[in-house]
Structures are given as structure tokens and as C-alpha cells.
Amino acid sequence: MKLIYSTLLVSTLLFSCSNANSEKIQITDNQEVKDSLPPVETKNANTDFAPAFEGQTRITGVKTTTPYSTKVITDELDAPWGAVELPDGRILVTENEGNLRIVNVADGKLSEKITGLPEVDDRAQGGLLGLTLSPDFSNDRMIYWAFTEEVDEGNHTAIAKGKLSNDEKTIENAQVIYRASPTYDGKLHYGGRVIFDKNGNLFATIGERSDKETRVKAQDLNTSFGKIIHITTDGAPVAGNPFENQDKARPEIYSYGHRNPQGIAFHPETGELWSNEFGPRGGDELNLIQPGKNYGWPIITYGIEYIGTKIGDPVIQQKEGMEQPVYYWDPVLSPSGMTFYKGDKIQEWKNNLFIGGLNSNHIARLVIEGNKVVGEERILADEGERFRDITQGKNGELYTVTDGGKLYRITN
């Protein structure tokens, strides 16, 4: 907390503003006054819903004091969706239309399209989505990714794996290891991030396909819609998953009641799993993911429909047995890929969460303490980009890719 704002005690009534960037918030006589920034969000909220606890939204603003620089490494990517650093420091990127590319950070040069991946359905929000490297990539060269697979009856989120050939021109032996069920004829809300846990198993996020008849399946344990799943590298449910012994429940499910989760990351110190999800209008969420828990969609939400009507019958934001988001945004972040900062380059960022924002055109930096968000900053807010994914390099840089085709490096 000390890095965020200093505190002082006052015994008299106080003032409002000290300078353009800093606001002293008066509480009352003899109470602590915090020298802090106002919340970064200044627009009107879509609703007058009350948060479940103080600090669940519009937290104190913070500002990075360590100087850092951003550089556009390339602007020639074609709708990149996921990015990860290779062991030698180059960046492997998924392009939404269905291929991979490697960016050489030193000179910004792009590889040819890496072929060999299964065909994707790249209409609307579908396509080639997130990716991750095998924990033993240096030896096995295995890559795992999510994509939209088209079949006769529609499409579904699928998870696949394959080996990057030694000449880096193709993916060898690409294999689909998991298919979300049921297949649905739609074009929205696939989820699509994959991440390894410390035991060498995968977590993946699966969206609820958006439509009114599919979103209710986020509460149905017999479907993959609106779930975070936990599978082995062969696509089997991980032993010990919360519903493995429950009738009419899919054993790969780890958590449920999600809308369109497009970011997932482990906290570097606590090892806890965090996820964000793209909410309706005003209901983007950050959640702390625990096994077997219900995250409430579409029963509880802080958002409303895009057309402005309310969601739920009754319209509620809290319910026993359903988890509250750690934090939510209203009007919007449009969260996508995210990463915790575990580098040493910018000490004040240690363990902070960075979330790519799409419609909001910035990266949200969140300071988290004791599983609560205690500070928020907007990074790269002047670039006018939709930030689709963000990942960390081993030397403490952050890399982010945008829908506009840019790869940025952020470092000091």
C-alpha cells in the first residue's frame, strides 16, 4: 500500500484538490486522509447497482512512477489474438484467420505464416484464439492453442496441440484434444485462453455463445458453455476435478457461471488462478477462480443488455452460493488477455495484474492486495488500440498485441 499513496492524519476539516494530478480525499475530522488519485473511470455508469463491498469497482487511481518506455516492434500482424515469448526471446503470435507467426523482436521482422494448424472458423469472434507453450517447450517444441472449429451443425471452441517443426515452417501432428459441447450455430463468445498449471495440466476458458438460449447453459454442468475447464495434455479431465463424481456433470469443469472469459493467469506468489470475463454492458469482471464455484452468469451480473434492458428475473447482482467478482467495470473495460507482472525491471509493478482492454483502448494495471483490487491505472491509453493479449518476457518486459496488428514492448 505504501507505494500507492501516503497517508496522514488531520484534525481539521480539509480541502479538495492539491494539484491537477492528485486529489486529497477528505473523510471527516480526525480520520485518515489519503493522498491518492481519483478513480480512472470518470464516465457515468450504466446502472445504479450497488457493489457488494467497498472497492469492488472504481477503486483509487494509481500512477506508475518508474520511467518506462513503449516501442512498436511491428505493426504488420494480421489480427493477432494470442502472444507468448519463445525461449530465445522471439514472440510467437496467433493470427485470428488461422496461422501462427514468429516476430523477431530485435528487428521487428515477421516469419512466414506457420502452417499445419486445423482450419478455423474466423467469422466474427471466432478463429484462431489463445496459445501457450509446453512447460518443456525447449525439448518437446509443443504448442497448445484454442480455436473455433466448424462442423456441419455449427461450431465450438476446441483445444489443440502440435509440435513446432525444427525449421519453424509448420506445426507437425496437430491434434484436437478437446471440443466444447454442444456444438452451436453462432459466431460469438468462445472464451479461448489456455494456460498450464504447475502440474503440467491445462486450464482453458470456454464462452457461453452469447444467445439467450445458450447463456443459461453457463449454469448447466452438463455443457461446456460458460466454464473454465481443467484437462490433461490429452484432453482428459484432470483427476480430482470438482464434479468428477457428480451425475450429469462434465468432469472437465473446474468453475462455471461464466460469460465470455478471455483472460486467465496464475498469481505469481499465491499461485491462485484468476480470470477476467467480458460482461454485458457494464458487467466486465475480474474473478478469483476456485474449484467448483459458480460465478453467477446469467443469474447475477452488474451489467445490462447492450440494448439497455435489464438482465435476470429477478434483476439481482448478488446471490448466496454465487461468487462475487473481485472487481468489476462499469461502463467498460472489454477485458481480453491478461498477465501478472513477475519481472524485476519495474519493481512497483511486481505482482500487479495487466489486462488488455478492447473497446476501452487501454491496458488496465491493477494493484492487488489480499485478493482485493486497491489501485487501478490505465496504460497505453493514448494509442487508440484494442489490446487483445498481453504477456511477459523473461527479462521483465511486457508484450502486448492489438487488433490493429501491432506488437508493443513495454520496458524501462
Q: Of 125-133, 138-146, 288-296, 365-373, which segment contacts Ca ion by CB under 5 A?
A: 288-296
- 280 lies in the binding site for Ca ion (CB under 5 A): no
DSSP state of 300: B
Give min distance, CB of 298 to Ca ion, in A: 9
Q: DSSP letter string over 341-406?
A: ---SSSGGGTT-EEEEESTT-SEEEEEEETTEEEEEEEESTTS---EEEEEE-TTS-EEEEETTS-
Q: DSSP letter string over 8-48?
A: EE-SS---SEEETTEEEEP-STTSEEEEEBPPS--SPPS--
∠208-210-216 over CA atoms, to 5°? 60
Give min distance, CB of 326 to Ca ion, in A: 10
Q: Of 195-203, 294-302, 303-311, 403-411, which segment contacts Ca ion by CB under 5 A?
A: 294-302
Give min distance, CB of 279 to Ca ion, in A: 8
Q: Which is nearer to Ca ion, 219 or 241 (CB)?
A: 219
189 has catalytic annotation? yes
Q: Which is nearer to Ca ion, 145 or 256 (CB)?
A: 256
Contact 385, 58 (CB under 8 A): no
- 295 lies in the binding site for Ca ion (CB under 5 A): yes
286 strand-pairing partners: 276, 327
Instruction: Return the residue of 261, 296, 298, 375 that touches Ca ion, per CB under 5 A.
Output: 296
Q: Report whether the peptide linkage leading into residue 182 is cis, meaning its omega lies within 30 degrees of zero.
A: yes
Q: Of 156, 189, 230, 258, which one is the catalytic site residue?
A: 189
- 282 lies in the binding site for Ca ion (CB under 5 A): no
Give min distance, CB of 82 to Ca ion, in A: 23
Q: Which is nearer to Ca ion, 67 or 321 (CB)?
A: 321
Residues contacting 52, CB < 8 A, separation 6+: 317, 318, 324
Q: Of 52-60, 165-173, 289-297, 334-342, which segment contacts Ca ion by CB under 5 A?
A: 289-297
Q: Which is nearer to Ca ion, 127 or 296 (CB)?
A: 296
Give min distance, CB of 215 to Ca ion, in A: 12
- Straight-line distance from the first to the last Cα atom of the chain, in angstroms, rounded to the nearest whole number: 22
Q: CA-CA distance, 151 to 139, in Å (whole number)? A: 34
State whether the Cα torsion 231-234-239-245 is positive or negative: positive
Q: Which is nearer to Ca ion, 237 or 296 (CB)?
A: 296
Q: Of 91-99, 164-172, 266-274, 290-298, which segment contacts Ca ion by CB under 5 A?
A: 290-298
User: Which residues of the chain form contacts with Ca ion (CB under 5 A)?
Assistant: 295-296
Just list the catalytic residues.
189
